[in-house]
Amino acid sequence: MGAAFRESRGAMNDDTWAKAAEQVGAYQKTLSTAADQHKSTWEQLKEVGGLFKMASGSNEVLNENAERAMAAEKAIRDLGMSNEEVARSLYGSDGQWKLLGDRLAATGEGGIMAAGQLSKIRDEFMRQREAAGRVAPGVSELGEAMRVLGDKTSTAAEKTRALKSALDALNPARTEGEAIARHNDVMRQVADSTKEAINQSEGFGAALLSQKLGIDTATKNGAALRQSLVDIVDATTDAAASGADMTERNRQNQEALAQLARQYGLTGEQIRAAADKLGLDDVEVTVALKGAPEAVQQLAAISAKWNDMPTQKTMTIDSSAVTKETQGLLERLGATVERIPNTNQVKITADDADARRRF
């Protein structure tokens, strides 16, 4: 875990989450190994000196530990969660961890034991993550690059990858600059493509729209419009992830959407709705709520999803996405929240239209 954090500077990415899931799997393996040491009376009698061991109680302690491990293993198994799901709750926010710990503790002695042990694992995880975040960026990567470049057995691809990793870590502005350059390039492409009128017989106006997918790609113009919108969303995502100032990116996006709307015979609302179907609103909401309280972030995520299915009365999502505080906010908005037994899921119900509008 420590090595993964050093590479990510303490950030959670696909690699660190994969390592976190492996760590959860390793913990469950230790429980399974301990549980396998449980021995029945008959097994003890079959051992050499079995009667002596039974009389002296030397197997009793072993069995007690094994039984506790079995109970802890069952408590985790009964959660109905994969290793990755457990990891995302264990190493997620304080609210997500509390929810997982409470669920385990409610199952009895085995769950209490598992919660206690997982709490210690979480503490060590947080310590390693904080330590990695304090390390000056680029030093380790540069040292690794020097080692790889000096290794005669390293391939050209390995040397290039190591050197690029060091350059990116030592020069974070380089990554941000590349993302901004890509976004600017997409903006220029949109501006150039909208200078001349399109052939309306190949798709125009409302005929380009799809209620489900945003844009209907059955026509040539539909396919071209969708690709332009996808390019905008992807470039915006990269810029946001690099830490770029999004005020200017968002302003340019609005101009590009207006150009596309005029080109393809759509209103500003129609083009914006199509872009949102492809994820533009999700990027903007994520950036806007960066650093907001966890309950607000979770409520916004639920709201965004409900906007995609406004007529639906229920929604089932992972329980880690609804902490106790978020549940309270949902209930104040008129929803009911039901934690589905023996699963890692929560069902949210909003029977009346007013409650759905409030979301």
**DSSP letters for 268-315:** HHHHHHHHHHTTHHHHHHHHHTTTS-HHHHHHHHHHHHHHTSTT--EE
Lowest mean pLDDT among 46-55, 72-81, 324-333: 46-55
pLDDT at residue 130 above 70?
A: yes
* Number of Cβ atoms within 10 Å of the Cβ of 203: 22
pLDDT at residue 282 above 70?
A: yes
What is the DSSP annotation of 113-133? HHHHHHHHHHHHHHHHHHHHH
pLDDT of residue 208: 96
Q: 3-state class of 209 per DSSP? A: strand
Lowest mean pLDDT among 68-77, 109-118, 200-209, 286-295: 286-295
pLDDT of residue 134: 66
Lowest mean pLDDT among 26-40, 296-310, 326-340: 26-40
pLDDT at residue 4 above 60?
A: yes
> What H or E segment, with its residue span, contains residue 337?
strand 336-339
CB-based contact 250:184 (threshold 8 Å) = no
Q: Among residues 328, 303, 232, 325, which one has the least CA distance to residue 274?
A: 232
**pLDDT tens per residue across span 60-96:** 555 677 788 888 989 998 888 889 989 999 998 888 8
Band of residue 343 on the pLDDT scale cut at 50, 70, 90 = confident
pLDDT of residue 55: 40
Lowest mean pLDDT among 112-116, 298-302, 304-308: 304-308
Lowest mean pLDDT among 196-205, 221-230, 234-243, 265-274: 234-243
Position with higher pLDDT, 57 vs 301:
301
Q: How open is the CA angle 341-344-350, to the nearest 5 degrees?
A: 75
The model's pTM: 0.61
pLDDT at residue 29 above 60?
A: yes
pLDDT of residue 47: 45
Choose from 35-49, 111-125, 295-309 the range with maximum mean pLDDT.
Answer: 111-125
pLDDT of residue 32: 85
pLDDT of residue 60: 55
* Number of Cβ atoms within 10 Å of the Cβ of 120: 9
Position with higher pLDDT, 320 vs 210:
210
Position with higher pLDDT, 171 vs 91:
91
pLDDT at residue 344 above 90?
A: no
Lowest mean pLDDT among 161-175, 207-221, 290-304: 161-175
pLDDT of residue 49: 44
Q: Tell me, what DSSP letter sits at residue 205?
A: G
Q: What is the mean pLDDT of the chain?
A: 83
Mean pLDDT of 311-319: 86
Mean pLDDT of 207-234: 94
pLDDT at residue 54 above 50?
A: no
Choose from 55-69, 97-111, 262-276, 340-354 the range with maximum mean pLDDT.
Answer: 262-276
pLDDT of residue 9: 62
Position with higher pLDDT, 283 vs 232:
232
